[in-house]
Structure 1
Amino acid sequence: MAAFFFYNNRKPGKFNYKPVLYNPEEEERKKNLQDRIEKIKREMGVLPEEKKAEKKDFKVEFVSRTHHLKKRKENEGRANRSYFANNGLLIIILLLLFVLFYFWVLR
């Protein structure tokens, strides 16, 4: 009985949707016409010239848009020592804690 279902499978119905109100050629023609009208108006001086966007440095733009990185950059400018210069103090504190732990717990 199970073999019957494997050999007699029906194909699903196909979906053939054709849009009634959308014509891609006409949309493209309208867009080209609008672009030509704008270009001619710019040449005549009716519309101001289109300014091209200049490419910005990603790192500078990212830091300027991120609150905590902008704050860090401002603080680095004020102080002589950066955030990474505090590692020496951290190592000294860890060594001191290790020595205290060694003499207090392990002995």
Structure 2
Amino acid sequence: MGRITGTVHHCPGRDGWVSDVSPGGCVKARVGSIAYCKKHQTPCINGCPDGIHLKNQSGCLSCEQRVYSEQRRAKKQADKERAKAQKDKDDDFWNPPKERKR
């Protein structure tokens, strides 16, 4: 019977190129609780505590998700402002100020 050591996932660079790093030749490394392939992966350069990513990426999945959520929030805010400007424009037409009513 095998020992219960937890799941060991393969390196994504095992079978294919990662930027200019050739496939195979993986070297397992451990930093605290993070286990990763030293040849193809690196701990998150943005400082996420448990994040690793491929060497040709700019951040781990949580970093990418944070960037996407910031973009969604900014787009939502811009849509709100655009809708408010349109509503104000319509309100000025349908409900004119007192000096225009005379």
Task: Give the TM-score normalised by structure 2.
Answer: 0.26
Higher RCO by CA contacts (8 Å cutoff, separation 6 or greater): 2
Structure with greater proportional strand content: 2
Structure with greater proportional helix content: 1
Higher CA-based Rg: 1
Task: Give the TM-score normalised by structure 1.
Answer: 0.25
